[in-house]
Amino acid sequence: MLSSSFFTLLLALTAASSPVVIRDNLIKLPLVKRINSTGSANILQRDQARAKSFKTQGRPHSTQFKHGSTAAAAPVSVPITNGVVSYTVEVSIGSPAKTFNLIVDTGSSNTWAGADESNPVPAGSRSTGQLVEVIYGSGAFLGEEVIDTITLGGLTIPSQSIGDAVISEGFEGVDGILGIGPTDLTEDTTSGGGTVPTVTDNAFTLGLIGTKEVGISLEPTTSLSVTNGELVFGGIDTSKFTGNLLSVSVSVIPHYAVVFSLINVLSHSPITSTSPASTFVGIDQTITYGTAGTPILASTAGILDTGTTLLLIASDAIAAYEAATGAVLDETTGLLTITSAQFANLQSLFFQIGGETFEFTPNAQLFPRALNTAIGGQADSIYLIVGDLGTESGEGLDFINGQSFLERFYLVFDSGNSQVGLATTPFTDATTN
């Protein structure tokens, strides 16, 4: 529950160029996965709170700023870090630069820092005279929108609009968010109204990158904190995936079409128009279990989201999954669990997306066993990363393919051409867990 001071602070606040360089190489940023030992029940609760916000609000949102009521350079890549609850990327702000660890989030589009009060945004940032507020369901922040130079790996973006948090909740251990979702998700998050250009928008407009593509490579891990992912701006890293990129239509917001583009072949599916999934990177998919094709989730709409940890499916789909696998709820961790004998018989889940089938192996369905004790579980138990969305299917957002799914496939978000790519990787069939 957000404290009342979070909202009352809004009433107390008042409104109070670097050269552009064309890059010749991919801008790659390493991603770091961080394991927060707070118990997986908290992970599930956080994911469900985030899902509830998506479904009830239609986007990360501001309660205060709804107007009319009472969005030729080479690619740049950056490493990212994963912490079960979040993948983070190192971002520098200001000159001289200060370093911040920001959550990489395709489910929102505002970039902001200052969650850690000991590491505030540089005082030299130029004020826009506007307040900014975003509520995520699993957290929120309120502050001032400012302009400053930010650097991601080899990519330096002058005059980027970012949030300078005055107060935030739900972001322990990180400094804020790098929002790389659809631009329209920033609509009315500032007191000035309208949308806020994203990092990708600005880099493209300034000629720092040649396309509005963001390539995301995540990998399964058995370490508490490890740099095991990569974020690429302005293109894709073909070394990170195998085969082709799937072409499947998706909807990001009601007025924008986003397409999963399969290079060389494959069919297109109709653009998802189902709300509220259509507000985000929404797709239609069907899930079946095993070689017999046992139905788990009929064709329906949902989203792909780097900010969600688990693979969440509607409550009725979870019941079908439990019946198929024999899994039961573990009260201590909040995750489903199976016995060793049941694991020996566990079969793959099959995701039908855009006319193609993606296999999610038995190993991919496991929480990393080496990390069981870090989330309050038993070292010798077997936990599953398939979780309950918390609502029945048929509500317009019936699944969230979170980090646990995306660690097995390569994702490309191309906002410039309204398309997204999905492909297998060397980790699709890995037995890491």
Active-site residue list: 105, 305
Q: Within 13 A of 180's CA, how many CA atoms are on the CB side? A: 30
Contact between 86 and 31 under an 8 Å Cβ cutoff? The reply is no
Q: What distance in Å separates the CA atoms of residue 414 and residue 233, rounded to the nearest whole number?
A: 10
Sign of the Cα pseudo-torsion (317, 322, 328, 332, in order)? negative
Q: Which of 278, 280, 353, 275 is nearest to 50 (CA)?
A: 280
With 0-12 / 13-18 / 19 or more C-beta atoms within 10 angstroms meaning exposed / middle / buried, residue 69 is: exposed
CA 267 – CA 269 distance, rounded (Å): 7
Separation CA 248–CA 61 (nearest Å): 28
Distance between CA atoms of 299 and 46, rounded to whole angstroms? 26
Q: Which two tokens stand for residue 395?
A: 């509500």
DSSP 94: T
Q: Can you list the alpha helix ranges (DSSP code H) found in 172-304? A: 199-205
> Which residues lie below 8 Å from residue 386, measured CB to CB, with a gap of 6+?
310, 311, 313, 318, 321, 336, 349, 365
DSSP codes of every residue in 306-321: TT--SEEE-HHHHHHH
The letter for the amino acid at 301 is A
